[in-house]
Amino acid sequence: MRAGIGVDVAPKGMEEIREIGVGMLGYAFMGKAHANGYRKLGYMAWPPPLQPRLVSIAGRDEAAVGEAARRYGFERSVSDWKELVADPEVELFDNSGPNGLHAEPTLAAAQAGKHVICEKPLARDANESYEIWRGVEGAGVVHMCAFNYRFVPAVRLARQMLEAGDLGDIHHFRGRYLQDWGATTDEVWRFDKAAAGSGALGDLGAHVVDLARYLVGEITQVAAVVKTFQPGRTVDDAFEAAVAFEGGAVGTIEASRFASGRKNAFAWEINGSKGSIAFDLERPNELQVSEGGEGFRTVLVTQPDHPFMGWWWPPGHVIGWEHTFVHELEHLLGAIAGRNEIAPHGATFEDGYRAAEICDAIVLSSESGRRETVSFRGPTE
């Protein structure tokens, strides 16, 4: 039968699917994305490793969080995240709040024995990230940093190609994450250094750093310029960096909120001795692949044998941005259920910490005028 047209509905067996209670902090952009992820994975990634039960959601505005609970199907809402930590029915703590609210609640939840997922960047700087990682690691729970772009099918396909050696020795990575809304004068927590830690760097740049590490390997050196265009703003608006990788590749890493006309242009390219691949998040269902010959092939990553696509639709029926969260949270539940590890395909808190070290080195390089060598601490330093 045509791959995908006859969507598989054969019974997978009537075994019980175990539930897991989820408590979520935050109900705005990321909260919506995560809530949607939990709801969809339960029937689309069928059968799910665990069936999410949306137990409780926390937020400071009582009316708003109550409405969010009603909307997304949480059984209850609370206005203090400590109630999530104290709630015995919450087995998984999902921190979808702003960066400044990552450390304390996440650590408390882990210490209360709950598995944790935390939005990226893991914290406002490397030190805070390190403390979270060390604390959570010590608590012995499953931990995941929500670098969701690892779960784009085209990105996972790229990783598979790289692991298989299809590209040969890697010479270059160039990644840039461009958006265009930085000139707004509205008050957004993302512009507040106390809440966000950094600007485009932690918000967008951390994604570039994480995928660079996931796809090419560890970054060892950065030579960077960090820039704030908007007068009076306390966080960066953009940065530019030349980087070197452990394996010998060199490249550039950039992010900006001042790239007019670029809405969500997280584009990267990898050049190897045998071929190249390129990607743009504005066309997330496509991977550009050169096998070293006469041009790039636009692979529409919607075949049933492409990563994650067996869960979805027939060939050519594309998925959207939000699906990355379905894939990511399914991976998390698989780890909690003992089916898989978070690493290497999911980002652990160590990955979150390492991305933060690299981001800090970018800031330092811009200030020092030197090319900075990145060094990482171990879990017990």
Give, as ranges, the residues between 303 and 332 that touch its own copies (CB under 8 A): 303, 312-323
Angle, nearest 10°, between helix axes 126-139 and 103-111?
A: 10
Which one of 82, 159, 233, 283 is in contact with its own copies (CB under 8 A)?
A: 283
Residues 345-374 that bind its own copies (CB under 8 A): 365, 369-371
Could you tell me which stretch among 135-143, 287-295, 336-344, 353-361 binds its own copies (CB under 8 A)?
Answer: 287-295
Could you tell me which stretch among 98-106, 138-146, 205-213, 259-267 binds its own copies (CB under 8 A)?
Answer: 259-267
Pairwise CA distance, residues 153 & 313, whole Å? 13
Contacting residues for 257 by C-beta, under 8 A, at least 6 apart: 179, 180, 181, 182, 199, 200, 203, 204, 237, 238
300 binds its own copies (CB under 8 A): yes
Q: Which amino acid is at 186?
A: D
The smaller minimum CB distance to its own copies, of residues 83 and 291, is found at 291
Residues 207-236 that bind its own copies (CB under 8 A): 221, 223-225, 227, 229
Q: Which amino acid is at 72?
A: Y
Residues 58-97 that bind its own copies (CB under 8 A): 63-64, 66-68, 70-73
User: What element of type H or E holds 162?
Assistant: helix 153-163
Calculate Rg over the CA atoms of the chain: 21
Dig out the tokens for 379 from the structure: 């879990």
Residues 130-189 that bind its own copies (CB under 8 A): 167, 171-172, 174, 176, 178-181, 183-184, 186-188
Cα distances from 373 to residues 142, 315, 364, 376, in angstroms, run 30, 45, 10, 10
Collapsing DSSP to helix, strand or coil, 321 comes out as coil
What order of strands is seen across the sheet that includes strand 19-25?
A: 76-78, 51-58, 19-25, 92-95, 115-119, 143-146
The number of residues that bind its own copies (CB under 8 A) is 117
16 binds its own copies (CB under 8 A): no
Site string for its own copies, 17-36 (x = CB under 8 A): ----------xxx-xxx-xx
Q: Do 271 and 259 contact (CB within 8 A), yes or no?
A: no
Could you tell me which stretch among 116-124, 207-215, 251-259, 338-346 binds its own copies (CB under 8 A)?
Answer: 251-259
Contacting residues for 9 by C-beta, under 8 A, at least 6 apart: none
Which one of 98, 256, 308, 332 is in contact with its own copies (CB under 8 A)?
A: 256
- Distance of closest approach, residue 100 Cβ to its own copies, in angstroms: 17
Q: Which amino acid is at 154?
A: A
- Distance of closest approach, residue 345 Cβ to its own copies, in angstroms: 21
The smaller minimum CB distance to its own copies, of residues 131 and 180, is found at 180
